[in-house]
Structure 1
Amino acid sequence: MENYEGKQFEETMLDNLCDLTTKKGPIDQELYSKYEVKRGLRDLDGRGVLVGLTEIGEVHSYIIDEGEMVPVPGRLIYRGYDIDDLARGFMEDNRFGFEETAYLLLFGDLPNKQELLDFHHLLDIYQKLPDNFARDMILNLPSKDIMNGMARSVLGFYSYDSNPDDTSIRNVLKQCIRLIAAFPSLAVYSYQAYTHYHGNESLVIHSPQPELSLAENILYMLRPNHKYTQLEARLLDLALVLHAEHGGGNNSSFVTHVVTSTGTDTYSAIASALGSLKGPKHGGANHKVIQMFHDIKENISDWQDEEQLSAYLNRILLKEAFDRSGLIYGIGHAVYSISDPRAMVLKHYASKLAAEKGLENEFKLYAKVEELAPQIIAKHMKIYKGVSANVDFYSGFVYQMLNLPLEMFTPIFALSRIAGWSAHRIEEIVNGGKIIRPAYKNVIPRQAYVPLNER
């Protein structure tokens, strides 16, 4: 009898199976053109393939002039309101804006004072996790990745819900608001379990405070001394607002629509969106921006020397420096070309926090790379549109100034985007009816069956 025992068999078998999986190689690239496949659901000119309609978010980056696509400065619009106007409104009033933004995304209108107060109170009620949830779902099962820990916790909510499969609007709305309120605790507690069990640090967790905004509670729960400045909290709140929604076509929101269209429960849909956002091509890009700037600072003696900095950015683009990927992280976006409005807003307020933290020189380095990188990319690459700094370019810098751990960067994105995902889930239920099922063409030749003893 064959010897099936031991680690050696397992490793050898996996190697052999891997060879079988990859031996045919990738699909012939010419077939994609032959069958006019919209790879990545994008046209050749970069425009997204229209697959649905939404009233939640709009990403505006070009106009059509005599049949030609003409890039324009980017605009991000929530329920008809320009993100610049929304941010200016609550920042100039010296108040927090994420809760107001979540209300707008969910219900389509800006709340008045009483409506906002009532919504705050409902979020306060739902901030408290179910009894023993933190112990059983988070602390006893620490994950090495916070996003995976959050996804498991979201699925765990299913077991604590007395009516989890009810997809009526009232019930789904309750589930979504509950998740919006609970996400800061899920993220922070998952991080604290990670640092304790995988980093040998002391385990101290704090309950969220009802009188604080969600942004304030993130800093309150993360920091052992609970202390933060108002500028820190307001800038984190602004980052949450800017990340809350980005149209139905971004990967994780589209996943929410796709999974919701099957008729499944809220927790399964949101866990799927978390899995999408975890990917470095979607929500994890600001990690790479921070790592890239750390590398630049180690290899550039004068941060404001344009010649020296340009030379090093050239090396990064030519796969001779940093991670050899050929990417200048934080520069370029699938939709925006002239400017990403989120980056523009965040840059303005990031300069203020940099001044408070004594990091003006580091901010100037970011600004200089933002200026030089598009010029360098344009010289080396044939691109159908221009490139500019995207939101990840400055969000990572802001999170670093807030002393947020790197492991929390993408979870912060998630606890913001849950507002948009919730709105898209409800919109799909209200307007749905058909399961979302795009077509794939099979291109392998037909084969005759061969009996086992003749193979």
Structure 2
Amino acid sequence: MNERFQKLCRDYKIQTAIDPRLYDKYNVKRGLRNNDGSGVVVGLTNICCVHGYVIDEGEKRPAPGQLIYRGYDICDLISGVEKDGRYGFEETAYLLLFGNLPDKEHLEDFKKIVTHYRTLPPYFAEDVLMRCPSSNIMNKMAQSVLALYTYDKEPENKSMESEMLKAISVIARLPAIMVGAYQVMRRYLYNSSMVMHPINLDESLAESILSTLRDNREYTKEEAKLLDLCLMLHAEHGGGNNSTFTCRCVTSTGTDAYAAYASAISALKGPRHGGANIKVMEMLNCIENGVKNWENEGEVADFLTKILNKEENDHSGLIYGMGHAVYTLSDPRAVQLKKSALKLAKGTEVEAEFRLLDTIERLTPQLFAKNKGDIKTMCANVDMYSGLVYKLLGIPVEMYTALFACARMPGWCAHRMEEIENGKRIMRPAYRTLIKNRDYIALDER
């Protein structure tokens, strides 16, 4: 990179800078958020409700978090599945796609369709996954979903029947794409063995992920049930989260399903969105190395204060896994994940790390109030515990966000079809321009 190019980049930063005060002057909703942190309402949906506060006489007041799929509380859905000893992700996908809980006959029919699409098209692994290994599985997944367009005989058919089949096929195939992309990366970038197991069509999607990921294909029922819980909890989170909004925004242009889903995957990749669980694990590793006694709350508090003061970790001043745009008193996903994971972690080396995260969760709100003067109600979000759950299940860190994408695909699909049916208008928000007109200068005179 030569000096001239570097100077161009420095000059661009100066030229493109916008005075932050102008955002208030022109009432710009930065991040599509209101001043109180709530999202700007840009649409209506029947798919999901994310409830974390109430508005009382114009004031935002904290409330226990609720996550509701098609009118059903996620805690009730999980309780029902656990009571019957079943795997629930496929049933959750059905609910999100079709709007109602299936009876036994409809659920079996749905599982048969999912099973039909579980295996990748002939030579897909060789032609798409192996030919161009990627150091990031999310990028490879987005590329692979785009490639599925080529294997679809009617990729531009946007009838509801065709869209539903496309949705189910992507939901069914994405886990195989994810594991395949990881195995290829392991071979070409880490010089390790690449193990490509055939899909066992008798397994649930959660079981299949563990079965194809592990060299010996072995897993316990408790491990598969915990992963299934993760998939259920991540399946949907309203139309306002960045990746779902991206899917709806791209869908509003009239583009094909594969382009819309690949865009959602790309949006989820960012560390401010789906990549946050990796940031939590990086922070946890930093704390583990910097605190001698993890059980000493004073030591932990001192180190967290250094993080808040931008002296430790990535110097961002952020304690990852804490706080949420909607949830205030609690994130139901974090509550469910923490409760279930602790049972499996008992007696393992990961148990102490769970206790450390619990300490971080308890101390952070008071440290924020003391060091930042920020007294808003704050809870742990799902990213606080999901990364450690994946570690407990032996899932490599490179797959953390990719696993999130596999889980969220049913939600994206549901929102795409709702946008097709009800949107009817391309999304195009406005940006106020600040530039002034300038007289053209001939090349020789510049």
TM range (shorter): over 0.9
Matched residue, 2:255:
264
Alpha-carbon distance, 1:380 to partner:
2.1
RMSD: 1.3
Matched residue, 2:36:
45
Matched residue, 1:101:
92
Structure 1 unaligned regions, length at least 5: 1-9
**3-state DSSP of counterpart to 2:247:** helix
Distance 1:92 1:364 in 2: 27
TM-score (norm 1): 0.96
Alpha-carbon distance, 1:241 to partner:
0.5
Matched residue, 1:155:
146
Q: Which moved more, 1:294-303 or 1:308-317?
A: 294-303
Q: Does 1:414 align with 2:405?
A: yes
Distance 2:204 2:338 in 1: 23
**3-state DSSP of counterpart to 2:2:** helix
Matched residue, 1:253:
244
Distance 1:360 1:177 in 2: 37
Matched residue, 1:308:
299
Structure 2 unaligned regions, length at least 5: none
Contact kept, 8 Å, 2:328 with 2:379, in 1: the verdict is yes
Alpha-carbon distance, 1:23 to partner:
2.8
> Which of 391, 397, 400 is the equivalent residue of 1:400?
391
Aligned residue type for 1:219: L
Distance 1:137 1:310 in 2: 48
Alpha-carbon distance, 1:13 to partner:
5.0
Matched residue, 2:276:
285
Matched residue, 1:34:
25
Alpha-carbon distance, 1:79 to partner:
0.4
Q: Which moved more, 1:335-344 or 1:293-302?
A: 293-302
Matched residue, 1:359:
350
> Which of 9, 15, 22 is the equivalent residue of 2:6?
15
Matched residue, 1:174:
165
Alpha-carbon distance, 1:384 to partner:
7.1
Contact kept, 8 Å, 2:368 with 2:375, in 1: the verdict is no
Alpha-carbon distance, 1:449 to partner:
1.9
Q: Does 1:216 align with 2:216?
A: no
Distance 2:375 2:260 in 1: 35
Matched residue, 1:89:
80
Q: Which moved more, 1:359-368 or 1:91-100?
A: 359-368
Alpha-carbon distance, 1:17 to partner:
3.2
Contact kept, 8 Å, 1:71 with 1:385, in 2: the verdict is no
Alpha-carbon distance, 1:222 to partner:
0.3
Report percent identity of matched pairs.
Answer: 52
Matched residue, 2:360:
369
Deviations 1:374-393 (A, max 9, x none): 21112222447311100000
Matched residue, 1:6:
none
Alpha-carbon distance, 1:31 to partner:
0.9
Aligned residue type for 2:217: H
Contact kept, 8 Å, 1:61 with 1:337, in 2: the verdict is yes
Aligned residue type for 2:200: Q
Matched residue, 1:136:
127
Matched residue, 2:59:
68
Deviations 1:220-243 (A, max 9, x none): 000000011111100011001100
Matched residue, 2:423:
432
**3-state DSSP of counterpart to 1:357:** coil
| CA spacing shift, 1:11–1:195, aligned 2, 3 Å | farther
> Which of 200, 206, 216 is the equivalent residue of 1:225?
216
Aligned residue type for 1:111: P
Alpha-carbon distance, 1:290 to partner:
1.1
Q: Does 1:338 align with 2:329?
A: yes
Matched residue, 1:54:
45
Deviations 1:162-181 (A, max 9, x none): 11111111111111100000
Contact kept, 8 Å, 1:45 with 1:384, in 2: the verdict is no
**3-state DSSP of counterpart to 2:428:** coil
TM-score (norm 2): 0.98
